[in-house]
């Protein structure tokens, strides 16, 4: 009998020792069926161990998953998981198991899939678009033959980053290797998929994201792992996909907050991709029009090699003209100024498309009673419920709680309830009244509920079946709308003075992106941003479309304030039924003896979180900061062990987050 240590999908994700019969196939990385409690579970063999701390009579017996042609998970998979486990303070078992497609963790009858050949539609060698001078210059910099090499590809919107990716992937394929391409959102993968299929018609592409059915996801994962798929495209979870012949990693829109996993193990897929590239001696290309300040500062300091695409790819296509319209002296109609309405009418007459960007969905952010002051609070969260007139609901955007819209005030019976503020639905309704001849399409998470809806909408937009798009940031990212020539931005000022110090960085990226939708083909684009603060440096930089200049301003502010990337942070968050319990736990955590041993780590006072109540849980947090990442890491390892031994009040939950993106 041999003893193996298994990662099992059970609470707390501890590793468990089991006996197993000797077998010539036996090695770490294989899966085993293991009795656990009254049930059987599928686990991953992490280690074959000489001895267990448990007495032999307590060891139960596991057996290898039979009928499985899956080779063992490779050592670099475990190394990546081990790094993630240490860095993000998550149990190794949790990292390993969340890295696998759900289908592989289930007990079931193995049904062999018929090998489906991708019907190689007549292998027409696609005509390669000729490269722009900028693309050629960038490709000369992006050398793939030097082992680990991190690159930052800074390309303005419409500069043809994707073409650069395709050329790099082509090089990798010719060398007989695989390429891993990460995209921030599922919404962006269909377009990538189509472009890859067109460019590489004979190459199998594996798509990996959470909206796939379990079977499809497992199939794609297996294709990547077996090497059958030479190109792997996926959202953040794809960063863990084991590849037998990796040759390149690309992280598109590397600044996007979606790369950060916000529950379970909280990791940054972009940062793990960099670690993975280093581990496997791979080149890695981070691409963005507005890189994260972290990556930008790495490039400035020479840790990443910078390649730039400063101009738009289509000859004659210019960057759009950006105008910030001072609305302090404007009469607004439902938030729309007269100059913006005039511009909309011009586009209508010219049969061109317009986009109004308002990053708030729903009809109005709150319903209120002017008689007694009642507002549509969420009973479970510290926020208001949003009025959705399209389906006549009040809905909490944080916990999802919804109800009918009350006919009268629940407190005083007043029948005259008012919606306050403005969301995309309200704007859509009002635009339809103001411009009755326009075909208006609202694009937000309510109207594009599934990938199917979303693809149908994209088709509608691209075919020109809509004149005016009203949308949230869903519309801002990565899509080419050839007839779109006007972008109007309303309601952006709120983010200028948000409590979150990262808000300006995000707003700038978002506005650059949405502005980039205008004038992509041969039609010139115009962007009108309505603001009460037209002189704000953020807007001034937008007018110049000067990312480097604005990044310099923000980096100087961060340096002065001692914020990332000039400091490293972690956050301990606690949730409990009442705030006192949550704060008291954090207080205890801050007073643990080991805190005094790490003078380079600053532990701040516990405070209620900005969203202090969610799903009936009161939430508080404790910020930690250090100028030294190794110091912070060393401290976290010791501290976390101490935290686990703290007595815990009933139903208190806590988690640690390293490199938090909102705090």
The one segment of 197-205, 272-280, 324-332, 373-381 that binds Zn ion by CB under 5 A: 373-381
The only residue of 3, 358, 368, 396 in contact with Zn ion, by rule CB under 5 A: 396
The closest of 660, 588, 578, 584 to 624, measured between CA atoms, is: 660
CB 405, CB 394: distance < 8 Å: yes
Q: β-strands 366-368, 418-420: how paired?
A: antiparallel
Of 118, 308, 380, 640, the one binding Zn ion by CB under 5 A: 380
The yes or no reply on residue 369 touching Zn ion (CB under 5 A) is yes
The answer to whether residue 323 forms part of the interface with Zn ion (CB under 5 A) is no
CB of 401 to Zn ion, least distance (A): 5
Q: Any contact of residue 381 with Zn ion (CB under 5 A)?
A: yes
Q: What minimum distance in Å lies between the beta carbon of 398 and Zn ion?
A: 5
User: Pairing between strand 231-234 and 178-182?
Assistant: parallel
Give the interface segment with Zn ion, choosing from 50-58, 317-325, 363-371, 450-458 (CB under 5 A): 363-371
- Residues 6 or more apart whose CB falls under 8 angstroms from that of 7 comprise 13, 15, 43, 44, 46, 92, 93, 96, 97
Nearer to Zn ion, 61 or 411 (CB): 411
The CB-of-403 to Zn ion minimum distance in angstroms stands at 11
DSSP symbols for 341-379: HHHHHHHHHTT-EEEEE----SSBSEEE-TTT--B-B-S
Q: Is 499 within 8 Å of 610 (Cβ atoms)?
A: yes
* Shortest distance, position 622 Cβ to Zn ion, whole Å: 24
> Does the CA dihedral 487-488-492-496 come out positive or negative?
positive
Total binding residues toward Zn ion, as defined by CB under 5 A: 15
616 binds Zn ion (CB under 5 A): no
Site for Zn ion in 111-140 (CB under 5 A): none
Cβ atoms of residues 151 and 304 within 8 Å: yes
248 interacts with Zn ion by CB under 5 A: no
Q: Which is nearer to Zn ion, 379 or 562 (CB)?
A: 379
Pick the piece of the chain touching Zn ion (CB under 5 A) from 24-32, 77-85, 142-150, 388-396. 388-396
Return the SS3 of 66. coil
Q: Reduced to 3 DSSP states, what percent helix, strand and coil does the chain have, rounded to the nearest 5?
A: 35, 25, 40
Of the residues 210, 245, 403, 411, which one makes contact with Zn ion according to CB under 5 A: 411
Whichever of 416 and 433 has its CB closer to Zn ion, that residue is: 416
In sequence order, what are the residues at sequence separation of 6 or more whose Cβ sits closer than 8 angstroms to the Cβ of residue 553?
A: 537, 541
- From 123-131, 192-200, 381-389, 493-501, span contacting Zn ion (CB under 5 A): 381-389
Whether the CB-CB separation of 637 and 89 falls below 8 Å is answered with: yes
SS (H, E, C) 593-609: HHHHHCCCEEECCCEEE
Q: How far is the CB of 386 from Zn ion (least distance, A)?
A: 10
Of the pair 314, 577, the CB lying nearest Zn ion is at 577
Binding segment for Zn ion (CB under 5 A), chosen from 190-198, 247-255, 396-404, 494-502, is 396-404
Q: How far is the CB of 445 from Zn ion (least distance, A)?
A: 16
Q: How far is the CB of 419 from Zn ion (least distance, A)?
A: 14
Give every CB contact of residue 299 below 8 A, 6+ residues apart in sequence.
Answer: 152, 154, 291, 305, 306
Give whichever of 161 and 619 is closer to Zn ion, judged by the CB atom: 619
173/167 Cα distance (integer angstroms):
10
β-sheet bridge partners, residue 44: 7, 31
Count of alpha carbons within 13 angstroms of residue 449, beta-carbon side: 1
Judged by DSSP in three states, 588 sits in helix
Angstrom distance (rounded) from CA 107 to CA 35: 12
**In this complex, which beta carbon is closest to Zn ion, that of residue 52 or of residue 414?**
414
Interacting residue with Zn ion among 34, 220, 243, 399 (CB under 5 A): 399
Closest CB to Zn ion among residues 147, 410: 410
> Nearest approach, Cβ of 392 to Zn ion (angstroms)?
18
Closest separation in Å from C-beta 424 to Zn ion: 20
Count the residues in the chain. Answer: 663
Cβ nearer to Zn ion, comparing 477 with 613: 613
Q: In this chain, which of 120, 141, 372, 607 binds Zn ion, going by CB under 5 A?
A: 372
Which is closer to Zn ion, CB of 346 or CB of 414?
414
Tell how strand 402-404 and strand 418-420 pair up. unpaired
Q: Please identify, using beta-carbon distances, which residue of 57 and 416 lies nearer to Zn ion.
A: 416
Nearer to Zn ion, 196 or 369 (CB): 369
CA proximity to 313, closest of 120, 134, 62 = 134
Q: Say how far apart CA 309 and CA 134 lie, in whole Å.
A: 5
- Per-residue binding string, Zn ion, 62-101, x by CB under 5 A, is ----------------------------------------
Nearer to Zn ion, 251 or 369 (CB): 369
Of 348, 331, 349, the residue nearest 339 (C-alpha): 331
- Considering only 59, 197, 203, 371, the residue that binds Zn ion (CB under 5 A) is 371
Among 374, 420, 566, 604, binds Zn ion (CB under 5 A): 374
Kindly identify the residues of this chain, within the stretch 412-451, that bind Zn ion according to CB under 5 A.
412, 414
Separation of alpha carbons 230 and 224, rounded Å: 7
Q: Which of 84, 409, 486, 583 binds Zn ion (CB under 5 A)?
A: 409
Mutual angle of helices 161-174 and 189-199, in 10-degree steps: 50
* 516: DSSP letter: T
Closer of 591 and 611 to Zn ion (Cβ): 611
Q: Which stretch binds Zn ion (CB under 5 A): 192-200, 240-248, 262-270, 405-413?
A: 405-413
Stretch that binds Zn ion, among 71-79, 179-187, 213-221, 379-387 (CB under 5 A): 379-387
Query: SS3 letters for 96-122?
Result: HHHCCCHHHHCCCCCCCCCCCCCCCCC
Taking CB under 5 A as the binding criterion, the range among 123-131, 330-338, 389-397, 503-511 that sits at the site for Zn ion is 389-397
**Long-range Cβ contact pairs of 554-559 (< 8 A, separation 24 or more):** 554/293, 554/504, 554/505, 555/293, 555/296, 555/297, 558/293
| CB 411 to Zn ion: min, Å | 5
Contact window for Zn ion (CB under 5 A) among 38-46, 403-411, 439-447, 604-612:
403-411
Site for Zn ion, rule CB under 5 A: 369, 371-372, 374, 378, 380-381, 396, 398-399, 401, 409, 411-412, 414
């Amino acid at each position: 009998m041999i003893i193996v240590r298994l990662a099992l999908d059970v609470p707390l994700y501890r590793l468990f020792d089991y006996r197993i019969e000797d077998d010539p196939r036996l090695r770490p990385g294989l899966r085993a069926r293991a009795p656990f409690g009254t049930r059987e579970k599928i686990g991953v063999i992490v280690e074959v161990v000489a001895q267990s701390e448990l007495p032999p009579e307590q060891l139960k017996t596991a057996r290898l998953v039979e009928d499985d042609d899956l080779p063992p998970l490779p050592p670099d998979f475990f190394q990546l998981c081990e790094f993630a486990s240490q860095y993000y303070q998550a149990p190794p078992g949790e990292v390993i198991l969340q890295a696998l497609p759900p289908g592989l963790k289930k007990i079931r009858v193995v049904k062999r899939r018929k090998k489906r050949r991708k019907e190689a539609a007549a292998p027409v060698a696609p005509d390669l678009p000729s490269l722009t001078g900028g693309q050629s210059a960038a490709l000369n910099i992006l050398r793939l033959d030097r082992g680990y090499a991190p690159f930052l590809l800074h390309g303005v919107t419409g500069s043809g980053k994707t073409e650069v990716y395709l050329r790099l992937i082509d090089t990798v394929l010719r060398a007989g290797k695989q390429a891993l391409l990460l995209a921030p959102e599922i919404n962006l993968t269909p377009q990538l998929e189509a472009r890859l299929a067109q460019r590489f018609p004979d190459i199998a592409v594996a798509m990996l994201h959470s909206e796939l059915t379990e079977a499809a996801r497992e199939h794609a994962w297996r294709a990547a792992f077996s090497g059958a798929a030479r190109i792997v495209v996926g959202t953040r979870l794809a960063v863990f996909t084991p590849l037998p012949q990796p040759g390149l990693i690309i992280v598109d829109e590397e600044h996007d907050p979606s790369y950060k996993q916000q529950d379970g193990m909280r990791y940054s897929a972009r940062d793990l991709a960099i670690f993975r590239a280093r581990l496997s001696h791979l080149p890695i290309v981070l691409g963005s029009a507005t890189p994260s300040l972290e990556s930008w500062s790495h490039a400035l300091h020479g840790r990443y090699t910078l390649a730039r695409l400063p101009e738009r790819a289509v000859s004659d296509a210019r960057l759009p003209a950006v105008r910030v319209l001072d609305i302090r002296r404007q009469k607004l109609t439902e938030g729309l100024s007269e100059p913006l309405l005039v511009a909309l009418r011009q586009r209508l007459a010219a049969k061109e498309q317009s986009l109004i960007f308002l990053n708030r969905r729903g009809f109005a952010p709150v319903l209120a009673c002017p008689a007694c002051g009642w507002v549509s609070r969420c009973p479970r969260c510290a926020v208001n419920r949003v009025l959705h007139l399209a389906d006549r609901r009040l809905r909490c955007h944080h916990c999802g709680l919804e109800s009918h819209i009350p006919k009268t005030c629940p407190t005083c019976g007043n029948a005259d309830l008012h919606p306050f503020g403005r969301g995309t639905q309200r704007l859509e309704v009002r635009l339809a009244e103001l411009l009755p001849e326009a075909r208006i399409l609202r694009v937000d998470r309510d109207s594009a509920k599934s990938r199917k809806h979303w693809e149908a909408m994209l088709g509608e937009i691209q075919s020109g079946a809509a004149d005016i798009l009203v949308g949230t940031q869903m519309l801002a990212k990565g899509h080419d709308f050839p007839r779109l020539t006007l972008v109007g931005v309303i309601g952006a000022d709120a983010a200028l003075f948000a409590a979150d110090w990262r808000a300006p960085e995000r707003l700038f990226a978002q506005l650059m992106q949405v502005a980039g939708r205008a004038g992509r083909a041969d039609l010139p684009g115009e962007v009108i941003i309505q603001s009460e603060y037209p002189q704000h440096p953020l807007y001034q930089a937008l007018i110049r479309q000067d990312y480097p200049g604005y990044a310099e301003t923000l980096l100087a502010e961060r340096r002065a304030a001692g914020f990332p990337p000039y400091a490293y942070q972690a956050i301990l968050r606690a949730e409990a039924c009442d705030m006192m319990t949550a704060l008291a736990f954090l207080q205890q955590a801050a007073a643990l003896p080991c805190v005094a041993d790490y003078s380079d780590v600053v532990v701040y006072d516990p405070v209620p979180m900005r969203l202090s109540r969610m799903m009936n849980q009161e939430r508080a947090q404790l910020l930690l900061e250090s100028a030294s990442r190794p110091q912070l890491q060393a401290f976290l390892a010791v501290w976390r062990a101490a935290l686990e031994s703290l007595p815990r009040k009933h139903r208190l939950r806590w988690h640690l987050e390293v490199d938090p993106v909102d705090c």
